Structure 1
Amino acid sequence: MLFRSLLLCLMATLPCLAAEARKSWRIMPIGDSITEGGSTFSVYRLPLWEKLTAAGFVFEYVGSKSSPSRVGPLLHEGYGGKNAEFLLSVVPGNFAKTPADIVLIQAGHNHSIEEKPVPGILAATESLI
């Protein structure tokens, strides 16, 4: 009887688990040029796309900006040369328009050029989060 009850519970939850495994995740890459990319260097977005796709994840990148890649345009919130304060001024509005389940933040590099104290860099990034 206990086995039958457990089996029924498992069977009842399988559709939910299967649906979660097939869930389409929305990923928003946020940051500076390391996120945006450029004509002379590649960034992490394409290799991550390839790894997630190969692993069977269903996902899409979201954001207000687009950069070409060999798999087609990849959306993002990358702003070359900008610091965390700039990101804080534009990203929340763009996130509201294109919400994400997962947010990747690469920020602070340009900030360290302008402002050496680590506490300032951390405060700006924490505000963004």
Structure 2
Amino acid sequence: MALHPSRSITLAWLLAALIGISPAAEHHQPIGILPIGDSITDGDGRHDSYRRHLWHLLRNAEYKVDFLGSRHLNGYYNEQPPNPDFDMDHEGHSGWTTRDVLSELSGSGEGRGQLGDWLSTHAPAFILLQIGTNDILKCEDTNGIVARIKQMVAIIHSITPSSTILISTVLPLGSAQSLGFDDAYCPGKRGLDTAVNALNQNLQGVLSEVARVDIVDLNRAIDPASDLYDGIHPNASGERRIAEAWFAAMTPATTR
């Protein structure tokens, strides 16, 4: 899904108008972008994640950006990504569910659920929220997943009301054979597909809650046969497609 060059230029100036900076003015405050999610945001020692490609798309559009977050390395083992030529700050947490992001509300410890702290510390202009895959794999009810995402949106809006929140649909899942999780997680590919589709359809209900929220359809951007290396996580082409979808979604988001 290639972007037309003129679209990159338009995006740069629209973003500049939104937060009052010139795209090429390096001495001004950068655009703060907070990526929040699970392992698809996190990456690992063999996969950069979409964040690298998105950072380069934004920089090539001639403006100063600052990726935000308490994490700097990738994956469970805090590994250097294969290509560390980008701003690596993020809040991708491998294995996390919507409950984990919200666990601070019930007093859970172990470094989980610091959403309020992330927002208060960084005050981002954009929040990229990609979450829900692990909920699906753990057989969580889709209505409950959407309710927790709405709760996240409400928290974000209360702490940083000027932030634009971009929420991704859940990526498609590969074949049951490639997943290899049928015994440990929800049995059967059909059940997984049904849950993913139901969650993605119900996400539209989040849009009516507060202003400055958009749904980014990453599900349609990904071909599970060619863009996922294990049935769940994006390979290099999948990372690029995800980055391009986020990048393209920022243009209409700035006109709200």
- Same-fold status (TM-score > 0.5): yes
Residue 5 of structure 1 is matched in structure 2 by none
Task: Name which of 47, 58, 78 aligns with 1:52.
Answer: 58
Structure 2: gaps of 5 or more residues: 1-15, 24-28, 74-79, 103-112, 154-256
Q: Secondary structure at the match of 2:45?
A: coil
Which structure has the higher relative contact order (CA within 8 Å, separation 6+)?
Answer: 1
In 2: Cα distance, 1:92 partner to 1:44 partner: 24
Residue identity matched to 1:74 = M
Tell me whether 1:98 sits opposite 2:112 in the alignment: no
In 2: Cα distance, 1:39 partner to 1:73 partner: 16
In 2: Cα distance, 1:73 partner to 1:49 partner: 7
In 2: Cα distance, 1:70 partner to 1:43 partner: 11
In 2 relative to 1, CA 73–55 (structure 1 residues): closer, same or farther, beyond 3 Å? Answer: closer
Instruction: Tell me if the contact between 1:34 and 1:78 (Cα under 8 Å) persists in the aligned partners.
Output: yes
In 2: Cα distance, 1:122 partner to 1:50 partner: 31
Give 1:56 deviation, angstroms.
0.9
Task: Name which of 66, 85, 88 aligns with 1:74.
Answer: 88
In 1: Cα distance, 2:89 partner to 2:135 partner: 23
Q: Which has the higher helix share?
A: 1
Tell me whether 1:38 sits opposite 2:39 in the alignment: no
Q: Deviations over 1:62-119 (max 9, x none)?
A: 1111124421551001110010121122222122112211000000011111234211
Q: Secondary structure at the match of 1:21?
A: coil
Q: Secondary structure at the match of 2:47?
A: coil
Give 1:31 deviation, angstroms.
0.2
In 2 relative to 1, CA 72–57 (structure 1 residues): closer, same or farther, beyond 3 Å? Answer: closer
Instruction: Tell me if the contact between 2:55 and 2:87 (Cα under 8 Å) persists in the aligned partners.
Output: no
Tell me whether 1:24 sits opposite 2:8 in the alignment: no
Residue 212 of structure 2 is matched in structure 1 by none
What percentage of residue pairs aligned between the two structures are identical?
Answer: 26
Instruction: Tell me if the contact between 1:84 and 1:125 (Cα under 8 Å) persists in the aligned partners.
Output: yes
- TM-score normalised over the length of structure 1: 0.78
Instruction: Tell me if the contact between 2:56 and 2:86 (Cα under 8 Å) persists in the aligned partners.
Output: no
Residue 97 of structure 2 is matched in structure 1 by 83
Deviates more, 1:33-42 or 1:78-87: 33-42
In 2: Cα distance, 1:87 partner to 1:57 partner: 30
Structure 1: gaps of 5 or more residues: 1-15
In 1: Cα distance, 2:116 partner to 2:85 partner: 27
> How many residues are treated as equivalent by the alignment?
113
In 2: Cα distance, 1:126 partner to 1:51 partner: 29
